[in-house]
Amino acid sequence: MQEYGAKEIKLLKDLEAVRKRPSMYIGSTGSRGLHHLVSEVVDNSIDEVLAGYCQNVEVVIHPDNSITVIDDGRGIPVAHHPIYKKSALELVMTSLHAGGKFDNKIYRVAGGLHGVGVSVVNALSEWLEARVTRDGKTWRQRYERGRPTTKVECIGEAASDNRGTQISFKPDSEIFESIEFEWEKIARRLRELAFLNQGLRIEVKDEREERKEVFQYEGGIRAFVKHLNRNREVLFPEPVYLRGEKEDVSLEVAIQYNQSFIQDIFAFVNDINTEEGGTHLSGFKSALTRTVNDYVRKRENKEVVLLGEDIREGLTAIINMKLPNPQFEGQTKTRLGNSEVKGITESIVYENLSRYLEENPSVAKLIVQKAISSSRVREAARRAREITRKKEGLGGALPGKLAACSGDDPEKNELYLVEGDSAGGSAKQGRDRHFQAILPLRGKILNVEKTHLARALNNKEIKSMITAIGAGIKEEFDPSGLRYNKVILMSDADVDGAHIRTLILTFFYRYMHQLIKEGYVYIAQPPLYRVKSKGKEHFLYTEEEFKKLREKLGDAKMEVQRYKGLGEMNPEQLWKAAMNPATRTIYQVSIEDAVEADELFTTLMGTEVEPRKNFIQKHALEVTNLDI
């Protein structure tokens, strides 16, 4: 046995800890973590914007997948630090928890408060070069995998009014699964920042494709809400805009309702997207519910009591808060924890929204009518659920079509949602009955993007899925009730199969959001070909794989079977190719960006035809498997 004594205790110096455990700092070493590097550098520029010293930010993606971020802020200090005896620039770039944001003297509000952002980027980069222009000179220092390879050196004179910071870096391929940056992911975050900082000009270039865009919105978060609702039918043309300050907290909110049955509320603190919400979101929801109910009691029917979910149906809202000392949970800052913020938010929203509704009765009437209609639908849905529970045991007795597994450990169990009774029959015979359950789905389920909950709950396939999964829906969703650790969608590799997957994912996204967010949903990839040659059996999932195998086998005799659907596979083949954990290919479904996911589902599955037509025309040439 390995001896465990004092000498086995290791201290990871400086940035070694980051390279040893990168996921602790950036979430993952996949695509999300890679793009988080860009956000960390850009966030430092945005902190200069928040402090009032920066009006322009430029981001360039170079052909070698290196990135340059340029701003016209004050520039990182370069002078020697009196205590640490090295340049402040080198200190910021090579030391964790070094920066000017730990008190409120230099930055009253900032997103990068932990002092680890740019040093983490440095640690996880093959190389990084920092250039700073301030006080009439330009300074430079270069690093490799977090270590300085040059001193901080002056490389030239600069005009007295010229200032700013330029950071160029190339992610380390030893750390990341891929260092290929995606234009859409970078552009989407930069567009978001331009919306959140009214008037800020952000330019993004991609030298790989000679592509360029400029984001600048004088409308701020009002323009953001209109952008999110651009593919929906809205109740009133201009968003409601609320603004207020209290106890050093600055808050602005933009609200607009549409004719859909969903709610989209995106909350930001110091330009950081708090995807998991927090105290500011709780305060907003409470204030909205209280305000509308107070208005109804004064002006409408005193008997009506509206729930929060009634009032939020069809709501698109942006909450943009500036806070001196935000308490984020974790380095990736997905949830705000400041307890005092709930009351501050509630107060600002209640006061401003109450006044707005009194002064704009026509808008108030539309909001109230939408909420009352939603309340009636909710009651109908509740009755439908109760009737369904009594008849079929929704959340209780399992649906008749479900072939349950014998194991009772949700951590090990899997549920296959299979297209069609024929494929469902093969899957039932081919599965491992101990941990794999099969639920066949007949045809295409209801498109929940276009309908309300009451109608959705009358859909037989949707009821079967809710019952089989066992965790409930919407506000009642409880992950502790899950019967399966994996919910796997298995459909034909054709257009109809893709449509069925999209309908099911739309249902999960709108009604069981956490199921996707917490990583329980997977997509099985069935094979396109089965090839037998030289006594071996090969399952091939793409045309490219088939082409490579054909080249490899040369003139050898091949027995080729091209699958048009799951129903053509016998139980043994289906087990080997799509269900055996040792040999199958399944992909985990993730929600990397809630704003993007929401826009995509609205475009593909919403009521407006024109955006869907434009999407198809734009991406038509990217199709690799067209079924005609």
Strands (E), 78-184: 125-134, 137-144, 147-148, 153-157, 164-171
Catalytically active residues are 419, 492, 494, 496
251, 318 in Cβ contact below 8 A? no
The first and second tokens of residue 97, run together, are: 């928890």
* CA neighbours closer than 13 Å in the CB half-sphere of residue 203: 12
The first and second tokens of residue 542, run together, are: 């793409």
What letter represents residue 217's amino acid?
Y
Terminal CA-to-CA distance of the chain, rounded, Å?
63
For residue 115, give the 3-state DSSP assignment.
Answer: coil
CA distances from 27 to 34, 35, 45 (A): 9, 11, 21
Instruction: Compute the 3-state secondary structure of the chain and give helix, strand, coil in percent, each to the nearest 5.
Output: 40, 20, 40
The first and second tokens of residue 554, run together, are: 């040369």
Write out the DSSP string of 461-484.
HHHHHHHHH-S-SGGG--GGG-S-
Residue whose entry in the numeric block shows the structure tokens 């709501």: 315
Write the DSSP symbol of residue 528: S
Strands of the sheet with 414-419, listed across from one edge: 436-441, 414-419, 486-490, 521-524, 586-588
Q: Quick one: 119 exposed, middle or buried, by C-beta within 10 A (0-12, 13-18, 19+)?
A: buried
The β-bridge partners of 319 are 253, 267
CA distances from 66 to 31, 35, 63, 127, 359 (A): 15, 12, 7, 9, 52
46, 193 in Cβ contact below 8 A? yes
What does DSSP say about strands 529-533 and 315-322: parallel, antiparallel, or unpaired? Answer: unpaired
Q: Which of 353, 120, 350, 102 is nearest to 239 (CA)?
A: 353
Helix (H) or strand (E) holding 424: helix 421-430
Give the span between the Cα atoms of 447 and 404, in whole angstroms. 26
What letter represents residue 576's amino acid?
K
Write the DSSP symbol of residue 95: S
The first and second tokens of residue 446, run together, are: 């209801």
408 Cβ neighbours under 8 A, 6+ residues apart: none
What letter represents residue 447's amino acid?
N
The first and second tokens of residue 176, run together, are: 């990341």
Write out the DSSP string of 309-375.
HHHHTTEEEEEEEE-SS--BSTTTT--B--HHHHHHHHHHHHHHHHHHHHH-HHHHHHHHHHHHHHH
Write out the DSSP string of 383-414.
HHHHHHHHHH-TTSSPPTT-B--S---TTT-E
